[in-house]
Amino acid sequence: MKQSEIKELSTSDIAAKIAEEQTALTKIKMGHKVSPIENPLKIRIARRTVARLKTELKQRQLAEAKK
């Protein structure tokens, strides 16, 4: 998910997407431990997506606090 797509989401959508992506990341990691996945870069991509979502959520929370 690109940063421009994340900025278009509402705050509640971002929070929901974080939970969804973290669950997916956990499943990918567990699957990789059981048997190696075909493309291990999926783990990195999922982890970075979660980080982007959390960053955007934190920026919005700080903007709200300043108001």
Query: How confident is the model at residue 9, as a pLDDT?
Result: 94
Residue 53 burial by CB count (10 A; 0-12/13-18/19+): exposed, middle or buried?
A: buried
Entry pTM: 0.90
Strand ranges inside 1-67, DSSP E:
none
Q: Would you state the structure tokens that stand for residue 26, as one six-digit string? A: 């956990």
So what's the pLDDT on residue 55?
Answer: 97
- When pLDDT is cut at 50, 70 and 90, the band that residue 1 belongs to is confident
Rounded to an integer, the average pLDDT of 12-26 is 97
Count of C-beta atoms within a 10 Å radius of residue 51: 12
pLDDT tens for each residue of 22-63:
999 999 999 999 999 999 999 999 999 999 999 999 999 999
Contact 37, 65 (CB under 8 A): no
